[in-house]
Amino acid sequence: MRSTTQRLRRPVAALVTALASLVLVLGAAGPAGAQLGGIEGRVSDGVTGQPLSGVQIAVEGTTLITLSNGGGRYLLQGVPAGEHAVVFEYLGYAAERRQVTVAPGQTTVVDIALARAAVQLDELTIPGPPQESMRRAAGVISAERAVYAFSADFNTESYAHIAENDFRLVSAAPLSTFSIDVDRASYSNVRRFIQSGTRPPIDAVRIEEMINYFPYDWGRVRGDHPFAVTTEVWEAPWNREHRLVRIGLHAESIDVDDLPPGNLVFLLDVSGSMRPADKLPLLKSAFALLVDQLRAEDRVAIVVYAGAAGLVLESTPGDRKGKILAALNDLEAGGSTAGGQGLRLAYDVAREHYIDGGNNRIILATDGDFNVGPSSDAEMVRLIEQEREGGTFLTVLGFGTGNLKDSKMEQIADHGNGSFHYVDGLLEARKVLVEEMGGTLLTLAKDVKLQVEFNPARAEGYRLIGYENRLLADEDFNDDTKDAGELGAGHTVTALYEVVPAGAAVPRGEVDALRYRPQPDDSPPSDFDDELMFVKVRYKDPDGARSRLLELAVADRTRSPSTDFRFAAAVAGFGMLLRDSEHAGDLALDDVVRLAETGKSDDPRGYRGQFIQLVEATRDLRLLDRAAEDRERWRRWR
């Protein structure tokens, strides 16, 4: 029987080839008059009968793939009539494969109960010191027994160091300023580690990206601004004496048909490190999904780089899908990596076909290895910043394991007025390039900065949860020359502050008493005494040079939290536990599960149910318990 790890590392090579060829045929011919039907049903636990959310359901030999929702329900539409093999996969359960007959114009009902199975690993690569990596021998993972064997594989994944935000005194630092972050890469990367039975490296856990991976319902956007700002105040689940404040930005959604014409350049890494199935083969299938969404007014060029960079597809109208997909399908991996040359050529092509008022963007897909040619981080950043000022933005998609340069990819996406995503499978590719295509490809507001002023009459201290690499100097807020994050169509951004009420002790190191203190103020109470904080947001239009300002006062009143707030708090708590945060208090994984369950809501895509399953897997595999032992083992190997 195949192991759970093998099943979760799909797509397999045969599926990848079938997906690319199928999309090629459909995109070129256009299935006019095709006989189509559907498959729907409910997935449940074979023992308890409870619905399972986040189960992956795929029709073999097609691009059709979905997740079960919060009630265990799923729906696959547009299934060609005939016999199909449908595969159901879920972490901790045995995979099921069913033969299903689909009749034209009808929906076939397939309910299934999955049997629980031990999580087994045939061959698990464990990130470790760059000098040597390990593989855990085949067998059931347990906290009591783990057998290790050395491998010749070379693990060079890299992550930028994160120093967790500590509490700050309002009396010393009343302002908190940061740039928004709409990257989503950290969550899908963390998911990849956990599904492989491994605790992710601490610096791979960026809490703000985990929170913002999930869509939230902020209501409609009204007024003259392209996004709305909303706040909530609640008790911090890990410290009931503290407040937890949620600040949310929600950009208006734009229908794909209403997007401005796109001038896209796919910049694809085809170096030797991209050979594995979870790299170039997955990349081809992922971009085939995006090509299927293109319109006649869009244009696509493909630039590749390995030992040298080259143009393999000139700028081509989006309705010529057959030609675009054929160029994708012909790509092969080999050679070293001239990332710098590829970037320069891609920008040259984008500049040549620039569309005034359009979406001019490079989409870079790579494992992040830029090891040949002019490839210093500083040089690439200067090039990217120069081109973004000319109106060409950059989005980065990361692929694969063992060689992932997370820190470099995040940096260049941030400087390119784009976002960074990690694609660990076709479902993530569909989420990024189909479901969230507007936000991925269209920027509604750039250089978006937040500044929060805390009221010393209500707050003694505070800490911003996450955003450690997005902090700004307070004076940068009003400086329109300072770069900040971008907000795309349909994007939601959540920031959480943990606030210590006035009069309570702020958990931080000891400091000497101040020699110079402000004298008591005998003036009457302020009109702002009931305010906890004052939120200001600055942003520019995508082609603007001067910022616009939004302001919002937040009252010091806790209320029953929304389901979205509960869920965001659960994700933040899980992130703190993965990071060994000193601020997590007595929070446990069971607490995270319970909190996430109360914030699950209807979960139409199954993303929240999948998160709960990840937390349960972390608990059941005792990944946090083994951390100290693993770190000591790695220390000895160094």
CATH code of 315's domain? 3.40.50.410
pLDDT band at residue 436 using 50, 70 and 90 as cut-offs: confident
Which residues does residue 535 pair with via DSSP β-bridges, in sequence order?
452, 552
Asked if residue 383 and residue 409 are part of one domain, the reply reads yes
Instruction: Tell me, yes or no, whether 265 and 239 share the same domain.
Output: no
Question: Degrees (nearest 5) of the Cα angle 614, 619, 620?
Answer: 95
**Among the listed residues 331, 330, 411, the one whose alpha carbon sits nearest the alpha carbon of residue 370:** 411
Query: pLDDT for 189-236, tens place per residue?
Result: 999 999 988 999 999 999 999 999 998 987 788 888 999 999 999 999
**Are 270 and 363 members of one domain?**
yes
> Are 270 and 310 part of one and the same domain?
yes
* Same structural domain, 316 and 432: yes
317: its two tokens: 């109208």
Is 249 contained in some domain? yes
- 109 and 170, same domain (yes or no): no
Q: Which of 388, 412, 439 is the last residue of a domain?
A: 439
Q: Is the pLDDT of residue 15 over 80?
A: no
> Residue 222 belongs to a domain with what CATH number?
2.60.40.1230
Are 409 and 490 in a shared domain?
no
Identify whether 523 is part of a domain: no
200 belongs to a structural domain: no
Indicate if the pLDDT at residue 145 is higher than 60.
no
- Whether residue 30 sits in one domain with residue 15: yes
Q: Evaluate whether residue 586 is within a structural domain.
A: no
Q: Evaluate whether residue 28 is within a structural domain.
A: yes
Mean pLDDT throughout 357-375? 76
Residue 327 lies in a domain: yes
More confident residue, 626 or 620: 620
Question: Which CATH number covers residue 56?
Answer: 2.60.40.1120
pLDDT of residue 636: 53
The pLDDT value given to residue 200: 94
114 shares a domain with 37: yes
d(CA 394, CA 387): 9
134 and 14 in a common domain: yes
Domain boundary pick from 401, 421, 439: 439
Full residue range of the structural domain in which residue 68 is found:
1-141+603-630
H helices of 153-277, where?
Answer: 185-195, 207-212
Residue 516 is predicted with a pLDDT of 66
pLDDT digits (tens, 9 = 90+) for 437-474: 877 778 899 999 999 999 999 999 999 999 999 999 99
- From CA 614, how far away is CA 88, in angstroms rounded? 17
- DSSP code of residue 51: B
289 in a domain, yes or no?
yes
Does residue 31 have a pLDDT over 50?
no
Domain for residue 153, yes or no?
Answer: no
Q: Is the pLDDT of residue 138 over 50?
A: no
Strands 443-454 and 168-169: unpaired
| Whether residue 365 sits in one domain with residue 405 | yes
Q: Which of the listed residues 424, 439, 454 is the one where a domain comes to its end? A: 439
- pLDDT of the residue at 354: 96
Residue 34 is predicted with a pLDDT of 60
- 453 and 345 in one domain? no
Domain count, the chain: 3
Question: What is the C-alpha to C-alpha distance for residues 59 and 68, in angstroms, rounded to an integer?
Answer: 14
